[in-house]
Structure 1
Amino acid sequence: MKFLKQVLYLFIIPTIIGILGGFSAILFRKLIKLSNVIFNLFSGNNSIYYVILMPFVFLFTYTVSRKLLVSPENVTIDEIAKKISVEKGGFNIKKGLLVLGLTSFNIGFGVPVGREGPIAKLGGVLSELFSKVFKIDRIHLPIYLTCGVSSALSATFNAPIAAVLFGIEIVLGKINSYIIIPLVISSSVATLISRKFLGNFTAFYVPKLSFQDSEIPLFLVISFLSALMSILFFFLLEFFSFFRIRYRKLWGKISFIFGFLVGLLIYIYPEIAGVGYSSVTKLFQNGFSPDRALEVFISKFLAVVLSFGSGVFGGLLAPSIFMGSFLGYFIGDFSQFDPRVFALVGSAAFLSGISRAPFRSTLIIVELTHNYQLVIPTLLTSVLTNYFIGSFNETSLLKRALLHRGVKIDELLKSRLRSLNVKEFIKPVKPVYETSHISYVLKRFLNDEVRYLPVVKSPKDRTLVGIVSVRDLELAAIEEQTNLYVKEIMTPEPFVLTLNSPPEEILKVVALFEVGQIPVVDSSERYVGMFDVNKFLKKIIIQTNF
């Protein structure tokens, strides 16, 4: 019976979810193709119709979203991660289906957006519906929701490894056999179905490229510029979000104007229309001059900002790859090396800057292009891009780690954190001494129901010198050493908070150390108490949501 349950949970259910993910990706492609056929009937392949029709596409999205009471905020990967990691589901079915339909319509009519956000949400919606119908227990729900999201992404982009890593790196934040087996099964099944019906093709053609060590300094430039443009991109989106709320009564007219501007940009630079992978293929065939590549990058950047800023639905993965490749190609032309290498590296760097997921970004680019020989430079630039972004805003490096602990970083939370201090969350836990016998420590663990105890020098000298854990006692017992003192088994110089630790320091500790309590010391390093992490998390989560 136990074996059958394992087969059911690890193989059969993930297979069914993978089938749902595979066919959802096929449906998505068909809807995009149908929308493109409709657009061509109107336009007759005349690009002037982008200027004429695009304002009405934007206005249509605004009107439908408003009539159906769906938030115009775009579906982001972080939103999906929050739904799974924090809320354990609760996908909005109406919004999921609406976003799928509108995104298909938008891409078919040339709006410069991508597919991954909507298809990921659809995968989550379908897997949640399946779990509810068959009454899957809640302990497995986050895993199967992640399977749905990853399988849909895998089938859409023909990138099963990147999809599995997406589930591990972004959504669940952990890895073990009980997680990785269902993820691999569902993503593999979805990819096989997609390849059966859509073919096994790379998203865009890239010749086999190689890099030289002397190119690395220029990779740093690409990382830095990708970080700057990513920061600018999200700053502009936040500005438009504020702008949309302030002028919500006029937003229909404003979105119409934005649509006209995007249509005008596409008319001047038709390469930026839709997903744009055919233009990326042309770039890797040296089909653009460096100056034209820069112009296309700038126009795509502006068009994407205006599209997402207006509330048009779509994904950011394809636009990020597009912009990064054209920016990298332009930068690479300043060297004596092949600019196509820098285009490929730039695509990974820009994608990493937008998604804040360096490993996933690297694998997506490698899988999409089959250029495995460029793993090192793509991974290097992806990681460095995230580092440069973190240099401007350190909490961005902790964003996903905090999300896995139930904390979503936003401006509202940051403002509220400024009023919090360590003293609010201090729990009075009596310390033990260096000279305490481990038998006393064992009694304390059993009576106080804690896993960590602070260690001070003596009753008179409360200088913190270490921390002793249940694990330390376990190791002593395994080695059959029972006549020991705390000093011999404790962890010396533990990480601590001070009474004046700023909110950013608290967030770092909470994100990086999965413990329930952290020692707090005063300016003289004397032990004060234990910082209650769970109390802190409870308060800021409640403040963020209410």
Structure 2
Amino acid sequence: MNSLRKYKNQLIHFFVIPTIIGLLGGVSAIVFRKAISFFHNLFTTVSPFQQYHYLFPIIIPVVFLITYKISKLFVISPEDVTIDEVAKRISLKKGGFDLKKGLAVLGTTSFNIGAGVPVGREGPIAKLGGVTSELLMKIIKTDRLHLPIYLTCGVSSAISATFNAPIAAILFGTEIVLGKINSYILIPLVVSSSIAAIVSQEAFGDFAAFTVPHLNFSNAEIIFLPIAVLLLSLIPLFFWIFFDFFSHLRYAFRHHWGKFVFIYGIVVGIVLFFFPEAAGVGYEQITKLLSGQIPPFLSFQIFLAKFFAVILAFGAGIFGGLMSPSIFLGAFGGFSAGELFKLIDPSVNPAVFALIGSASVLSGISRAPFRSSLIIIELTHSYQLVVPILLASIMTKYLLNVEGEISFLKRALLNKGIDVENILTIKKLKDFNISQFLKLIHPLYENTHISVAQERLLKEKWRYLPVVKSPHDNHLIGIVSLRDIRISALFEAKNLKVRDIMTPDPFALPLNASFEDILKALALLETNLIPVVDEKGNYVGMFDVDEFLRFLSF
């Protein structure tokens, strides 16, 4: 009977709930794309001209103003409608999505993209995936232990269906859920993302986002790859500089921002009037670019127009995702770089650098190189270019790493409840001192019998005890844990000393460790106590991780 109940619970966790979530994700993606098509057809139908772009200077400012009013009505910040913010909500708050806000974001983004605003789909659809899966969890009353897994299934399935990229969606999911990959987490993600992709493919076919001819990366092009990445890295660099500038501007003039939004809309409308190729998601234009239908100089002009329009749209606070604009900018920017390389070596294919550019710019803007690489590979079915795409994504991440090593560890820290971006800006760290978190735990000596260590670990609340050489030599040489005691019990040796069971040469924080050093240690270690030593390697005390986390919370 117990075995039957166990298999029933496993069936529900691994297949039943993920299948339902996958169906919801697939249907959500279909509804989203149908809504975008509806608004696009609506705008093109009402146009009195043969070319819809003649209306951009009129329509776009009105759309900007409507989005601004909706954001005020529902109290929605544009920063809330991003994949990273959805990930933070799942990791830190275990959900709490608002159904009304989710539907408002979905409807507004559909309206915006349909009208031609140059924004993407992934942020809103990820938010909708979180909303629908959380609503389902409330209906079936699942326990909170599994809630982050199922919420992530919802987000991943929505992304999988929207972009026909189940592998990238699964990778995204494993980044959110505790930063771990195991079968208990991975199987529900695979099932939900796969079901969502099947539903989407049933509605739209097994589509690639844009049609890519068969491309090969030749040896002649290898020498141009680092140069291309250097050039392409300037795109996300300038994007974030302008994005931060407009974000501060939006806050400074928040009481009169409606007027600014309308003016931004007029400017974007004029840009799109002259360069309609920069409007909307733009995947069709990438197809034309790769098939040689857009001249090289015009492709560079379109790139500049798109960059300017995207900056103003997001600067104005318009809802939408950054992924599609990033791919567009990378494709056109990479193609332009490829044309320059072609002047040096006629064998260079600019289309190859268009795909490399898409991955590079997406990596720089999303700050997620592996996910960016997989998305480009899956969106284009260009598996033969996996090596240059991966290299470009990683190199871009490295070049733009202005925040130091901690930027590589943000996800690991986020999964421990530490939002690095907020902490580094809010906390007053000038007077930070590691000594305030030290616990003076008396060390063991290497020649002490293990029974002493066992007795102390059972009586005291600590899970780890430091080991030094002797009462007269305080040099740290090891750590003993309950796990070490349990393993030693298997050998039934009566004369074991602490040195025989300890973990030798443990990692230790220096007494003058910086705040960033501690964050790095927290990201890489799974422990609640870390030894601290002075400049000579002598044991000083144990750093209390739990106390440090409490400090960060208030």
In the superposition, the TM-score normalised over structure 1's length comes to 0.95
Call closer, same or farther: CA 1:210–1:472 in 2, change over 3 Å.
farther
Deviates more, 1:420-429 or 1:444-453: 444-453
Call closer, same or farther: CA 1:126–1:440 in 2, change over 3 Å.
same
Matched to 1:492, the amino acid is P
Call closer, same or farther: CA 1:434–1:13 in 2, change over 3 Å.
same
- Asked if 1 retains the 8 angstrom alpha-carbon contact of 2:401 and 2:407, the reply is yes
What residue in structure 2 maps to residue 340 of structure 1?
351
What residue in structure 1 maps to residue 281 of structure 2?
275
What residue in structure 2 maps to residue 366 of structure 1?
377
Give the C-alpha shift of residue 480 in structure 1.
5.0
What residue in structure 2 maps to residue 398 of structure 1?
409
Gaps of 5+ in 1: none
Call closer, same or farther: CA 1:391–1:313 in 2, change over 3 Å.
closer
Give the C-alpha shift of residue 221 in structure 1.
2.8
2:38 pairs with 1:27:
no
Matched to 1:514, the amino acid is E
Matched position secondary structure for 2:420: coil
Give the C-alpha shift of residue 255 in structure 1.
0.6
Pairing partner for 1:433 from 425, 433, 445: 445
What residue in structure 1 maps to residue 198 of structure 2?
192
What residue in structure 1 maps to residue 465 of structure 2?
453
Matched to 1:343, the amino acid is A
What residue in structure 2 maps to residue 328 of structure 1?
334
C-alpha separation in 2, matches of 1:11 and 1:507: 37
- Asked if 2 retains the 8 angstrom alpha-carbon contact of 1:85 and 1:172, the reply is yes
2:466 pairs with 1:462:
no
Pairing partner for 1:471 from 480, 483, 489: 483
Identity across matched positions, percent: 54
Call closer, same or farther: CA 1:459–1:284 in 2, change over 3 Å.
same
C-alpha separation in 1, matches of 2:315 and 2:454: 58
1:106-505 alignment to 2 at 5 Å? 106-335=112-341, 336=345, 337-410=348-421, 413-416=424-427, 417-479=429-491, 481=493, 483-505=495-517
Between the two proteins, the alignment pairs up a number of residues equal to 542
Call closer, same or farther: CA 1:471–1:339 in 2, change over 3 Å.
farther
Matched to 1:31, the amino acid is A
Matched to 1:493, the amino acid is D
C-alpha separation in 2, matches of 1:174 and 1:141: 15
1:59-74 alignment to 2 at 5 Å? 59-74=65-80
Gaps of 5+ in 2: none
What residue in structure 1 maps to residue 18 of structure 2?
14
Matched to 1:223, the amino acid is V
- Asked if 2 retains the 8 angstrom alpha-carbon contact of 1:75 and 1:313, the reply is yes
Matched to 1:498, the amino acid is P
Give the C-alpha shift of residue 478 in structure 1.
4.1
Give the C-alpha shift of residue 275 in structure 1.
0.3
Matched to 2:204, the amino acid is L
What residue in structure 2 maps to residue 526 of structure 1?
538
C-alpha separation in 1, matches of 2:166 and 2:440: 49
C-alpha separation in 1, matches of 2:236 and 2:526: 30
C-alpha separation in 2, matches of 1:273 and 1:373: 30
Matched position secondary structure for 1:47: helix
- Asked if 1 retains the 8 angstrom alpha-carbon contact of 2:360 and 2:393, the reply is yes
Matched position secondary structure for 2:400: helix
Give the C-alpha shift of residue 25 in structure 1.
0.4
Give the C-alpha shift of residue 401 in structure 1.
1.3
Matched to 2:244, the amino acid is E
- Asked if 2 retains the 8 angstrom alpha-carbon contact of 1:207 and 1:284, the reply is yes
What residue in structure 1 maps to residue 7 of structure 2?
3
What residue in structure 1 maps to residue 525 of structure 2?
513
- Asked if 1 retains the 8 angstrom alpha-carbon contact of 2:445 and 2:498, the reply is yes
Matched to 1:445, the amino acid is L
C-alpha separation in 1, matches of 2:508 and 2:297: 53
Give the C-alpha shift of residue 474 in structure 1.
3.9
RMSD between aligned residues? 1.8
**Superimposed CA distance per residue, residues 31-81 of structure 1 (whole angstroms, 9 cap, x where no aligned partner):** 101110121123343312111211111011101221233334341111111
Give the C-alpha shift of residue 263 in structure 1.
1.2
Matched position secondary structure for 1:528: strand
Give the C-alpha shift of residue 341 in structure 1.
1.0
Matched position secondary structure for 1:463: strand
**Superimposed CA distance per residue, residues 305-361 of structure 1 (whole angstroms, 9 cap, x where no aligned partner):** 111111100011111111111111122223221111111111111111111222211
Give the C-alpha shift of residue 405 in structure 1.
0.9
Call closer, same or farther: CA 1:433–1:290 in 2, change over 3 Å.
farther
2:106 pairs with 1:100:
yes
Deviates more, 1:109-118 or 1:296-305: 296-305
C-alpha separation in 1, matches of 2:65 and 2:392: 39
Call closer, same or farther: CA 1:37–1:420 in 2, change over 3 Å.
same
C-alpha separation in 2, matches of 1:404 and 1:418: 26
